[in-house]
């Protein structure tokens, strides 16, 4: 996990104000799990252990699924169509990296995922799962990979 900053604007963000407190706290947790470029591996089981180590396995994994779904709906967490990676938009705009270059594993993530289907290139929102793999999660909107940096 990484040390991150919470700016005062976080508390007055109207989009976040509509979300439950538990989702807002989970959102902060995603910042700590994401690399400096905003990317993270999407493994709900591992995320659950990292953020909720003292809660029973089944309950903490459901918490991750539910809270991630809320963040996806709010546009604060984007899931890569491959289902193996997630992106926290604007993370680099709100974090100070001490003047050093921003490190991101985005290219590694891109190499690890299947290439976009032709229909994903249209720029439209597609559908994928919030779960660990195909069929494990609820169908939710995802942003095609090439648009994620622009959100």
**CA-based diameter of the chain, in Å?**
43
Predicted TM-score of the model (pTM): 0.70
| Percent of the chain whose predicted confidence (pLDDT) is above 70 | 63
Q: pLDDT tens string for the chain (151 positions)?
A: 778 888 898 999 999 999 999 999 999 999 999 988 888 999 999 999 999 999 999 999 999 999 999 999 999 999 888 888 999 998 877 776 666 555 566 655 555 554 333 334 333 333 344 443 444 444 444 444 333 333 3
Q: 4 burial class (0-12, 13-18, 19+ CB within 10 angstroms)?
A: middle
């Amino acid at each position: 996990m990484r040390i991150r900053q919470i700016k005062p604007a976080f508390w007055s963000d109207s989009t976040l104000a509509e979300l439950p407190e538990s989702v807002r706290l989970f959102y902060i947790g995603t910042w700590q799990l994401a690399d400096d470029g905003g990317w993270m591996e999407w493994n709900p089981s591992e995320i659950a252990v990292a953020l909720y180590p003292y809660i029973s396995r089944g309950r903490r994994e459901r918490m991750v699924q539910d809270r991630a779904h809320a963040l996806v709906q709010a546009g604060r967490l984007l899931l890569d169509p491959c289902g193996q990676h997630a992106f926290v938009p604007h993370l680099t705009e709100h974090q100070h990296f001490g003047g050093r270059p921003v490190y991101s594993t985005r290219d590694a993530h891109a190499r690890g995922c299947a290439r976009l289907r032709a229909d994903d290139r249209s720029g439209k929102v597609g559908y994928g799962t919030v779960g660990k793999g195909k069929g494990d999660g609820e169908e939710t909107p995802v942003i095609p990979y090439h648009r994620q940096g622009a959100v």
